[in-house]
């Protein structure tokens, strides 16, 4: 008899297994594919590995302005793909050993819940006291004309298996998947067209973030169409709902992910008393770090009965590339719709010495707050992924903007943009001209 059976070994599942073992539970972890789930094998890690190669290539191409001569710069995309697979494999082996080091039993088979206390695989039956379902999600496959042409239309899984780059591509969706792949492929010389069915680029983003991303796309010569869908595909000719026709080598579906949604209460408990669901499968917040946090909280609930305090509003999100795009909390539109009074600041990254030294002056820090707390922050900048974490710490601890103004930020850093953004809430920013 196991105290806990965890189905799925992605970020939510493996963290639940490790934390439960640390809390003294006897744990069995089931995985039908690869340890680490989508994030490690087909998502976060592979794409960031490719993106690193992309950024190095871009830096070398533009190094002359830095006084560095780099001639005949080229890349081998097949080797870039080989590296991302190698990186994932190394991390997967390390993660497997990490999980085993905590005494967790790993069963690499497909698992089904036979009863409230029984999990069955092809070769065995396991009795468990509690069950956590963390089975993740899959790429959303959109059919066109009632069919899906796998030779022409790719998912985010498929693109990781390409060994040669197309000369042109149409990407459906401008969320994290679509924007990150548009940046990667465009940097490597692919002609990219983005299609978004909603009214703005990155539909969930603050409007000033969306507007700036539009500028970045234009600068990268990436074509994009909003309020637009694919109407028809004939051969390699794609007809859009706006009447335009585009001849491309392939289509990449970057429009979200799907899952068999499991309804849960605030403690991630399903209608079956001892069965819990965390991560993508409950669709509360489909981000790896959300699943990891949910894992910690559900284990604590199982062990001690402590109620979960997971707050979706406190989950940071990041779109990677140059510059990074990071957000947390409310957008300005959400605050306007709520009628809540707030203060707003907008500080340009170009006013930072560090940004000029690095030749990375694109972006801004936008903070939305009251006198007593930060309500949201939206950052486009080099190192935005690290900067948003500082805001997250402040929001979780309900630190007021004035209290944060007392923090001494190292100089020169990008993080100084946060301090200036905090000062700008009171119209006392030090590096904005007095208008």
What CATH number did the domain enclosing 110 receive? 3.50.50.60
Residues 384, 398 within the same domain:
yes
* Two structure tokens written together for 398: 């309900």
Q: Which domain, by its residues, includes 409?
A: 317-425
pLDDT confidence of residue 116:
83
Residues 128, 170 within the same domain:
no
Half-sphere exposure of 165 (CA within 13 A, CB side): 20
pLDDT confidence of residue 145:
64
Residue 18 backbone dihedrals phi, psi, to 5 degrees? -65, -45
CATH number, domain of 381, equals 3.30.390.30
Question: Does residue 322 sit within a domain?
Answer: yes
Which positions of the chain have pLDDT values less than 70? Answer: 144-148
Residues 7, 116 within the same domain:
yes
Residues 270, 347 within the same domain:
no
Task: Please state whether the predicted TM-score (pTM) of the whole model is above 0.85.
Answer: yes
Question: Does residue 19 sit within a domain?
Answer: yes
CA dihedral 184, 185, 188, 191 (to 10 degrees): -140
Residues 52, 25 within the same domain:
yes
Question: Does residue 246 sit within a domain?
Answer: yes
Q: What is the pLDDT of residues 375-416, one digit of tens each?
A: 999 999 999 999 999 999 999 999 999 999 999 999 999 999
pLDDT confidence of residue 148:
59
Alpha carbon distance 92, 159 (integer Å) = 20
* Two structure tokens written together for 373: 């707390």
pLDDT confidence of residue 419:
98
pLDDT confidence of residue 319:
97
Q: Comparing C-alpha atoms, which of 163, 408, 346, 139 is closest to residue 252?
A: 139
Residues 234, 299 within the same domain:
no
Catalytic residue among 289, 309, 411, 431: 411
Active site residue 411: yes
Residues 266, 331 within the same domain:
no
Residues 219, 201 within the same domain:
yes
Residues 212, 330 within the same domain:
no
Alpha carbon distance 194, 239 (integer Å) = 13
pLDDT confidence of residue 255:
82
pLDDT confidence of residue 15:
98
Q: Does 201 sit behind a cis peptide bond, omega within 30 degrees of 0 on the bond before it?
A: no
Q: Comparing C-alpha atoms, which of 98, 115, 114, 116 is closest to residue 106?
A: 98
pLDDT confidence of residue 146:
55
Residues 26, 79 within the same domain:
yes
Residues 195, 130 within the same domain:
no
Q: At what angle do helices 77-101 and 44-61 cross, to 10 degrees?
A: 140
Q: Comparing C-alpha atoms, which of 256, 288, 280, 286 is closest to residue 45?
A: 288
Residues 83, 21 within the same domain:
yes
Alpha carbon distance 424, 431 (integer Å) = 10
- Pick the last residue of a domain from 272, 292, 310: 310
* Two structure tokens written together for 322: 């140059």
Number of domains in the chain: 3
pLDDT confidence of residue 258:
82
Q: What is the pLDDT of residues 151-200, one digit of tens each?
A: 789 999 999 999 899 999 999 999 999 999 999 999 999 999 999 999 99
């Amino acid at each position: 008899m196991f105290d806990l059976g965890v189905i799925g070994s992605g970020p939510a599942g493996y963290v639940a297994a490790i934390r439960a073992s640390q809390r003294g539970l006897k744990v069995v972890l089931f995985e039908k594919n690869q340890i680490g789930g989508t994030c490690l094998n087909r998502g976060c890690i592979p794409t960031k590995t490719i993106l690193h190669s992309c950024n190095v290539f871009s830096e070398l191409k533009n190094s002359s302005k830095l006084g560095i001569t780099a001639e005949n710069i080229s890349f081998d995309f097949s080797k870039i793909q080989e590296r991302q697979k190698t990186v994932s494999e190394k991390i997967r082996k390390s993660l497997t050993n990490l999980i085993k080091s905590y005494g967790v039993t790993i069963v690499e088979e497909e698992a089904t819940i036979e009863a409230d206390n029984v999990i069955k695989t092809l070769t065995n039956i396991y009795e468990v006291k509690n069950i956590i379902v963390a089975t993740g999600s899959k790429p959303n496959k959109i059919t066109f004309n009632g069919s899906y042409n796998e030779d022409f239309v790719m998912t985010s899984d498929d693109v990781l298996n390409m060994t040669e780059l197309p000369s042109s591509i149409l990407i459906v969706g401008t969320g994290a998947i679509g924007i990150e792949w548009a940046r990667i492929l465009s940097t490597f010389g692919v002609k990219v067209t983005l299609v978004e069915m909603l009214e703005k680029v990155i539909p969930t983003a603050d409007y000033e973030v969306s507007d700036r991303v539009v500028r970045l796309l234009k600068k990268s010569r990436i074509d994009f169409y909003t309020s637009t869908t694919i109407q028809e595909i004939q051969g390699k000719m794609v007809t859009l709902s706006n009447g335009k026709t585009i001849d491309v080598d392939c289509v990449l579906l970057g429009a979200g992910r799907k899952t068999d949604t499991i309804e849960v209460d605030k403690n991630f408990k399903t209608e079956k008393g001892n069965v819990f669901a965390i991560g993508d499968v409950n669709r509360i917040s489909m981000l790896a770090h959300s699943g990891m946090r949910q894992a910690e909280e559900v284990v604590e609930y199982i062990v001690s009965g402590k109620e979960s305090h997971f707050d979706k509003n406190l989950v940071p999100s990041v779109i990677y590339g140059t510059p990074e795009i990071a957000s947390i909390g409310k957008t300005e539109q959400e605050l306007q719709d709520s009628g809540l009074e707030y203060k707003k600041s907008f500080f340009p990254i170009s006013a930072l010495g560090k940004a000029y030294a690095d030749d990375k002056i694109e972006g801004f820090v936008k903070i939305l707050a009251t006198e007593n707390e930060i309500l949201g922050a939206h950052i486009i900048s080099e190192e935005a992924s690290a900067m948003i974490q500082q805001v997250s710490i402040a929001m979780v601890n309900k630190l007021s903007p004035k209290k944060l103004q007392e923090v001494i930020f190292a100089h020169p850093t990008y993080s100084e943009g946060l301090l200036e953004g905090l000062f700008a809430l009171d119209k006392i920013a030090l590096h904005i001209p007095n208008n």
